[in-house]
Amino acid sequence: SRRLTLAAAQLGPIQKAEGRDVVVGRMVRLMETAHKRGAEVVVFPELALTTFFPRWYEEDINNADHWYEQSLPSNETAPLFEAARKFNIGFHLGYAEIAHEADETGEVRKRHFNTAVYVHPNGEVVLKYRKVHLPGHREFDPKRKVQHLEKRYFEVGNLGFPVVRAPIGQAGPVNIGMLICNDRRWPEAWRELGLQQVELVMLGYNTPSINQDAKGFEAHHLRVEHSHLSIRAGCYQNACFAAGVAKAGVEDGCELFGHSIIVNPQGEIVAQATSWDDELIVADCNLDQCVLGRTTIFNFAAHRRPEAYGRITGQ
Ligand code: CDT
């Protein structure tokens, strides 16, 4: 059987004033723990290197460059790459990316994305994804106690939903794909990965415990429930594993709900974080479990009916 020892490395809060060196030190310790527990891959959250900065308004986005990575690795992120090599462990990292590249008009300019990469133990970036579903708003909203300015700080991802076959540990080549935070709530995003036979979805998130738009229509306890529901359904309906990994705890007075999970292709939670701090959860994943769904009820070639889905495909 194809077995993969998968670790999800939840991060506790990162305060606005905290430097990347402190965070990277915490992450390296989690990688060491992951290695000791036999993990072959470790998944870190969305925007793992800093506080969840889209809660802070900056009038001129050019003054916000310090939140982004200009290159990977950099001096500050190099210890992650060194740890990967030392512990022979692949890692998934969510970060804010500045890229100098052409836009749809062909003009080369500075662009900002909410990005994730999977890095092989040898330091090679094997897969990159840029977040497609950006929640929140673009302008300062005086009605909100806490801003959620992802639409200000990021462009919509332009890489689609790639899946690559990457060598991971003893399992050999594994079909890996990524989603970032809000993407997990969109079945279309999961299906894009499922149609490429994804076996492992790496997914980081930063989700506030309080939904400021709820106005009494979403009970507080449903915040975590909706996150888990989305990930479990995505795994079941696309016959894959996922590591859903949170940034957790109170960042500068704003609470993020944690509850990181690893889910199997039956939609079962096989590991769950219990703290709101740095915490490693590990699961032994038998990738052969992806075969049942893929060859029976979710055999897309046999049973899917795209001709009836015109509204979704825009045809
Ligand atoms: N980071 C992220 O995408 N968070 C969203 C919360 C948005 S609230 C405006 C999420 O879907 O979890």
| Shortest-distance Cα residue to atom 3 of ligand 1 | 182
Please check whether residue 100 is in contact with residue 137, taking contact to mean a CB–CB distance below 8 angstroms: no
The residue to which tokens 């060194």 are assigned: 82
Ligand 1 atom closest to the CA of 211, numbered from 1: 8
* Per-residue pLDDT tens over the stretch 25-45: 999 999 999 999 999 999 999
Asked whether the predicted pLDDT for residue 315 surpasses 80, the reply is no
Interface predicted TM-score (ipTM) of this complex, two decimals: 0.97
Give the integer Cα–Cα distance in Å for 261 and 7.
10
- CA–centroid distance, 230 to ligand 1, in Å, is 13
Ligand 1 atom closest to the CA of 208, numbered from 1: 6
* Averaged pLDDT for residues 140-165: 97
Q: Reply yes or no on whether 46 is catalytic.
A: yes
Give the integer Cα–Cα distance in Å for 48 and 272.
19
**Catalytically annotated residue among 40, 69, 97, 131:** 131
**Catalytically annotated residue among 40, 46, 192, 279:** 46
Q: In this predicted structure, what is the pLDDT of residue 278?
A: 98
Give the closest residue to 29 by CA, choosing from 300, 279, 234, 263. Answer: 279
Give the closest residue to 171 by CA, choosing from 200, 202, 142. Answer: 200
**CA–centroid distance for 313 within its chain:** 25
What would the DSSP string read from start to end of 74-128? -TTTHHHHHHHHHHT-EEEEEEEEEEEEE-TTS-EEEEEEEEEEEE-TTS-EEEE
Q: Reply yes or no on whether 254 is catalytic.
A: no
pTM across the whole model: 0.97
Pocket lining: 141 vs ligand 1, CB cutoff 6 Å: no
Q: In this predicted structure, what is the pLDDT of residue 216?
A: 82
* Per-residue pLDDT tens over the stretch 108-144: 999 999 999 999 999 999 999 999 999 999 999 999 9
Give the integer Cα–Cα distance in Å for 138 and 284.
41
Pocket lining: 247 vs ligand 1, CB cutoff 6 Å: no
Please check whether residue 248 is in contact with residue 256, taking contact to mean a CB–CB distance below 8 angstroms: yes
The share of the chain scoring above pLDDT 70, in percent, equals: 100
